[in-house]
Amino acid sequence: MRRNESPEGRSVRLLRVGEQVRHALSEILMRGEVHDDVLASHMVSVTEVRMSPDLRHATVFVKPLLGGDEDVVIKALRTNTAFLQSEVARRVNTKYAAKLKFLADESFDEGSHIDRLLRDPSIARDLDHDAD
């Protein structure tokens, strides 16, 4: 960390670079630049990119639209990691090309689960009781 850079400044930088990587990956996937049948036949949303403090590693959270074939899509992304890393490095100007790690974004599933729980009649009854 540079002496004149505060921890807050560093975290803003991590967020900014993560967002640049997310945009670059989204654009690559949207334009069909990866020559892969699985990726060509699935719309993939890059929901978040978390950068390591040294900007050398990027954890990429993805979700296939309509939620189908998640495992197949993740496998295709991992198979094409070298191409995606080189394209991201070309588009996002950082000192090092970040190593990409693809993971399924489970936050949507967690949100749906919480929503289902809150709609459960016994939970709703308890919440109404607490409001009184």
Whether the predicted pLDDT of 28 surpasses 90: yes
Is 129 contained in some domain?
no
| CATH number, residue 54 | 3.30.300.20
Whether the predicted pLDDT of 3 surpasses 90: no
Is 112 contained in some domain?
no
Four-point Cα dihedral 25, 28, 33, 37, nearest 10: 60
Return the number of other C-beta atoms located less than 10 Å from residue 23's C-beta.
Answer: 15
Per residue in 37-81, pLDDT (tens digit) is: 999 999 999 999 999 999 999 999 999 987 678 899 999 999 999
Whether the predicted pLDDT of 31 surpasses 60: yes
Is 84 contained in some domain?
yes
72, with CB counted inside 10 A (0-12, 13-18, 19+), is: middle
What's the structural domain count of the chain?
Answer: 1
Is 125 contained in some domain?
no
Enclosing domain of residue 97: 7-105
